[in-house]
Structure 1
Amino acid sequence: MTENEVRERAYAMPLTSPAFPLGPYRFYHREYLIITYRTDPDKLRALVPEPLQVDEPLVKFEFIRMADSTGFGDYTESGQVIPVSFQGRKGGYTHCMFLDDHPPIAGGRELWGFPKKLAKPTLRADVDTMLGTLDYGSVRIATGTMGYKHKVADAEKVKASMLTPTWLIKIIPHVDGTARICELVEYYLEDVDLHGAWTGPASLTLASHALAPVAELPVLEIVSASHIIADLTLGMGKVVHDYLA
């Protein structure tokens, strides 16, 4: 293989059989259970990197079922997103994510900088309840429940919230172990087609784990919950701050 052939073919590893295909990445009937809760403000601010700003001590714990996605396949994801602001714009900071499928782990980390680790999340309807769980290895570290479709949510507000920016810290190490890339990345969801959104009573239980410390942001009060089904495209990111510059 010539150097020109390497340059033409290279976009992800392994060179001759990349872990994920080129985008765009479209998701059909993507299903969310999002539980927003109030947490310890000092612990929250200690985890959110500048120049992002925390306006309220809130966390969104998400369980997401992606049964039909282009390129990434059939998988489930869970994690914590923190409402923040950046240069006067409100959005979310993705603090941690856990999922059960290799291509979106590799693609998410390498392309955008999603903080993804391998785990076993689930999301399903359990009789009259939306039930989300997250196991890290054999340990149950999160259980979220919400009354199944108790009340229709405001579709315009839900869609508007899905169109706000999200920020990530993308870290790629050098061969000597130091950071070669350390950037604040911004991305958006695009072409959102909302099929339905509901609210209801909710609960969230988190358990301590050394390597999946979701409980370091404790649940002090449940603020709201939503169950959402939508088609959408995961837009590519852009760098808005370089920590190594």
Structure 2
Amino acid sequence: MSNYEYNILPEYSPLYPKLPYEYKDYQKVSVYCRGDVKKLKQFLPKEFELISDIFEVFILQNNEIEGLDVYSEGGVVIPCAYKGISGACVAFEYVNTDDSLCAGREIWGYPKKLAEVQFECNEHMVKGSVQRKGKKVIDIVFERDDQEIVIPNLSPRLQVKRMPHPEHDGTDINKIIKNELQNAVLKKQVYGKAQLIMEQSAADPLYQLGVKEILGAMYIEGAFTLTYGKVIDEITK
């Protein structure tokens, strides 16, 4: 029996291997913003309750992964709750490889899209961007200033794994997934300030989030293991 176990299509040449995936070295820059409550609610799945007006915009570069091709990503994370379970939902997510795209969508329900992701880092500054369909939907410039900020709780991830029905309008799969990183290691953490620009795009309306204030930013380096999540509910309606 191969490592793929025939549960990932195509069976003779699966797009991605089975779990777990070992993220051995990554760099990430995060900007923490206060947003418009109405817009934040709009961009959450309808099943979730917004629990904070502070959200995260991030760009992440993976340098070494065991299980997937090395890729970079960016996105938006919004604190939320579902039936008393508090965490956060990745409301927008962009990656630059097809195996990370499909594994994320098919296994856990992350709303990943393909995009161009850029990440540059030196001892003074970090720059990152996500560009899709000719629009730079995330553009971050980070500078160190050592001013600590209070980070909202963004774990576990709460996602909706929703798939269209093949026979009619409606859903075939509609589950609430809880997912937590395992064996997380923080190698480096630097507080800072950041400039954040989100270009107007009809296809990716992150600019509508309504950033009222940038509270601060953080650069980190670390490692973690990504493995199976838990189905905490199945929506039958």
Cα deviation for residue 67 of structure 1 reads 1.8
Corresponding residue number in structure 1 for 2:102 = 106
Q: How many residues get paired?
A: 234
Instruction: Summarize the Cα distance change of 1:241–1:146 in structure 2 as closer, same or farther, 3 Å threshold.
Output: same
Corresponding residue number in structure 1 for 2:199 = 207
* 2:180 partner letter: Y
Would the aligned equivalents of 1:205 and 1:219 in 2 still touch at CA under 8 Å? no
1:191-202 maps to which residues of 2 (within 5 A)? 191-202=183-194
1:1-245 maps to which residues of 2 (within 5 A)? 9-125=5-121, 128-148=124-144, 150-151=145-146, 164-177=155-168, 178-244=170-236
Instruction: Summarize the Cα distance change of 1:152–1:23 in structure 2 as closer, same or farther, 3 Å threshold.
Output: farther
For structure 1, the 5+ residue unaligned runs are: none
* 1:71 partner letter: G
CA distance in 2 between counterparts of 1:243 and 1:29 reads 36
Provide Cα deviations, 1:166-213, integer angstroms capped at 9, x if missing partner.
111111223225310011111000001110111111121111111112
CA distance in 2 between counterparts of 1:153 and 1:70 reads 33
Bigger drift between 85-94 and 193-202 goes to 85-94
RMSD: 2.3
* 2:232 partner letter: V
Would the aligned equivalents of 1:32 and 1:229 in 2 still touch at CA under 8 Å? yes
Would the aligned equivalents of 2:128 and 2:139 in 1 still touch at CA under 8 Å? yes
CA distance in 1 between counterparts of 2:53 and 2:71 reads 30
* 2:187 partner letter: H
Cα deviation for residue 9 of structure 1 reads 4.1
CA distance in 1 between counterparts of 2:179 and 2:51 reads 20
| Structure with the higher fraction of residues in helix conformation | 1
Q: TM-score, normalised by structure 2?
A: 0.90
Would the aligned equivalents of 2:32 and 2:57 in 1 still touch at CA under 8 Å? yes
Cα deviation for residue 215 of structure 1 reads 1.1
CA distance in 2 between counterparts of 1:165 and 1:173 reads 25
Q: TM-score, normalised by structure 1?
A: 0.87
Provide Cα deviations, 1:115-138, integer angstroms capped at 9, x if missing partner.
000101122215721111111033
